[in-house]
């Protein structure tokens, strides 16, 4: 009888920094895979590097994942709390002669590298200590795996890359535990993936080269390896490694910059995975359609413009009130304090005017603050085009007429502006553009009547005077 095994996947971050977008995409692919197949998604904290691991990094990584809707289905597993387990597995391997203590000092290894005439990365440990006296009392030692002599090649059957064959001579008796007893990555990952009953290891392609070593360890431990799926790298637009400048920053920086998590998730999933030509997906659709078969082999180029387009699309779908709530929560908590003349309703109205015109929450906040505070400078090209002597004359006239308005409403402002235009024999745009420049510094802004209402009478008159100076 065939028993059904529930798929179990894990995301295994090292808390040595914040969560970058590459890590987020790996987490997302794992999470979507689990949700799609009805399996379990786990988070394991790989914090064996005691010097570089920090709790604050872990907290910020978990916060970033949570912001994207990703949480572990089971309690977190911390490698730093599993020292005894690793120790007992090492004892077992030592007793079965599948691993051995290596007492070679770094200097001794170094001089053998030099004598062998090869560079460090091509140096294969020569098994010097395999037959040495294994008395641990002697001095400091590392633990090395005894690489099986009968193996000539190692085959990784990868769900994305297909069959990848490695020549066994590329590997040596690699180290699995440091002198202080702490486990090396390849060892701890195998022990824990087995312990957590992981069925599918979905991770970045940079780990493909580690997989043969892990297969050796599964064999040494008498365990069947999980299935592997190595997802392609995220590349910069020029095809190189993604750098900070191209957007390889902390996921939470995207939050503060005013990206909606659903937009970022939507964009990140499309980096390497596709479903026909569809670009926009709800979370439900992503869960329904996601599969590893549709993940490409080639590196995926990070395209900031596309991310911004997706973000703008998601922002448009929010109501002005929702959008206002979001930017205050994620982007500018001090928004009310920076737009003090406005009531809550004014603020929502201002958001409604701008939300279709911006790509990020930060741009939206900047536009609101500029509208409220007045421009610090004017766009020169706009001034040159629109602030003609005739336009200046109209603005002077407008100041006169607006000053005598008693109710600062659209109903009262509109006829005044129309009258000035008619009197000068020009279309509305010839006056609307100078007003926009006066109020916001440039001509790219929402409808001028709405802006005037929001800016208020006194401030409008001040800004109209200022633009004439």
Tell me which residues touch ligand GLU (CB under 6 A).
12-14, 46, 189, 203, 207
Q: Is 410 a catalytic residue?
A: no
Tokens of 46: 């790989």
User: With respect to ligand GLU, which residue has the nearer C-beta, 203 or 270?
Assistant: 203
User: Given 66, 81, 244, 297, which residue is catalytic?
Assistant: 244
| Distance of closest approach, residue 339 Cβ to ligand GLU, in angstroms | 42
User: With respect to ligand GLU, which residue has the nearer C-beta, 108 or 223?
Assistant: 223
Among 53, 74, 65, 63, residue whose Cα is nearest residue 26 = 65
User: With respect to ligand GLU, which residue has the nearer C-beta, 52 or 410?
Assistant: 52
Count the neighbouring beta carbons within 10 Å of the beta carbon of residue 189: 25
Rounded-to-integer distance, Cα 352 and Cα 347, Å = 9
Beta bridge partners, 235, equal 241, 301
| Distance of closest approach, residue 455 Cβ to ligand GLU, in angstroms | 51
| Distance of closest approach, residue 202 Cβ to ligand GLU, in angstroms | 8
Gap between the terminal Cα atoms of the chain:
88
User: With respect to ligand GLU, which residue has the nearer C-beta, 189 or 271?
Assistant: 189
| Distance of closest approach, residue 70 Cβ to ligand GLU, in angstroms | 15
Q: Tell me the H-state helices in 117-206.
A: 185-195
Rounded-to-integer distance, Cα 276 and Cα 289, Å = 11
DSSP H helix total and E strand total for the chain: 20, 12
| Distance of closest approach, residue 58 Cβ to ligand GLU, in angstroms | 12
Residue given tokens 């208020």 in the structure block:
456
Give every CB contact of residue 413 below 8 A, 6+ residues apart in sequence: 402, 405, 449, 452, 453
Among 125, 142, 154, residue whose Cα is nearest residue 216 = 154
| Distance of closest approach, residue 158 Cβ to ligand GLU, in angstroms | 13
User: With respect to ligand GLU, which residue has the nearer C-beta, 40 or 189?
Assistant: 189
Residue given tokens 């100076």 in the structure block:
469
User: With respect to ligand GLU, which residue has the nearer C-beta, 42 or 142?
Assistant: 42
Beta bridge partners, 156, equal 164
Tokens of 206: 């940079």
Q: Tell me the DSSP string of 368-436.
A: HHHHHH--SS--HHHHHHH--HHHHHHHHHHHHHHHT-SS-SHHHHHHHHHHHHHHHT--HHHHHHHHH
Tokens of 251: 């996921």
Catalytic residues: 244
């Amino acid at each position: 009888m065939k028993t059904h095994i529930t798929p179990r996947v894990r995301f295994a971050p090292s808390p040595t920094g914040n969560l970058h977008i590459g890590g987020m995409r790996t987490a997302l692919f794992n999470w979507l895979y689990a949700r799609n197949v009805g399996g379990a998604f786990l988070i394991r904290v790989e914090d064996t590097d005691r010097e570089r691991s920090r709790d604050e990094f872990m907290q910020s990584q978990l916060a970033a994942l949570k912001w994207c809707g990703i949480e572990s289905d089971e309690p977190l597993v911390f490698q730093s709390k599993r020292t005894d387990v690793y120790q007992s597995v090492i004892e077992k391997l030592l007793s079965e002669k599948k691993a051995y203590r290596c007492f070679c000092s770094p200097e001794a290894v170094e001089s053998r590298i030099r004598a062998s005439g090869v560079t460090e990365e091509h140096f294969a440990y020569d098994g010097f200590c395999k037959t040495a006296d294994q008395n641990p009392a002697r001095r400091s030692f590392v633990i090395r795996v005894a690489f099986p002599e009968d193996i000539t090649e190692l085959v990784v059957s990868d769900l994305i890359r297909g069959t990848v064959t490695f020549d066994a001579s590329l590997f040596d008796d690699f180290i699995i535990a440091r002198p202080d007893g702490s486990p090396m990555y390849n060892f701890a990952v195998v022990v824990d993936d087995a312990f957590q009953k992981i069925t599918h290891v979905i991770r970045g392609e940079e780990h493909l080269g580690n997989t043969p070593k892990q297969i050796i360890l599964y064999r040494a431990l008498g365990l069947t390896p999980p299935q592997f799926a190595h997802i392609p790298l995220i590349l910069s637009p020029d095809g190189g490694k993604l750098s900070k400048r191209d957007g390889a920053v902390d996921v939470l920086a995207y939050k503060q910059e005013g990206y909606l998590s659903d937009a970022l998730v939507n964009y990140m999933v499309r980096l390497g995975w596709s479903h026909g030509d569809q670009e926009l997906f709800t979370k439900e659709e992503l869960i329904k359609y996601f599969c590893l078969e549709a993940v490409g082999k080639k590196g995926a180029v990070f395209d900031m413009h596309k991310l911004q387009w997706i973000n703008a699309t998601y922002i448009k779908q929010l109501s002005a009130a929702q959008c206002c709530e979001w930017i205050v929560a994620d982007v500018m908590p001090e928004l009310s304090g920076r737009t003090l003349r406005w009531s809550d309703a004014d603020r929502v109205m201002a958001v409604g005017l701008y939300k279709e015109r911006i790509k990020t929450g930060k741009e939206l906040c900047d536009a609101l603050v500029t509208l409220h505070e007045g421009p610090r400078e004017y766009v020169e090209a706009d001034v040159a085009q629109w602030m003609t002597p005739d336009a200046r004359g109209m603005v002077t006239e407008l100041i006169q007429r607006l000053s005598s308005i008693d109710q600062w409403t659209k109903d009262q402002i509109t006829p005044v502006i129309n009258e000035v235009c008619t009197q000068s024999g020009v279309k509305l745009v010839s006056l609307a553009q100078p007003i926009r420049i006066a109020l916001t510094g440039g001509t790219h802004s929402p409808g001028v009547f709405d802006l005037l209402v929001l800016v208020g009478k006194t401030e409008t008159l001040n800004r109209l005077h200022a633009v004439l100076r």
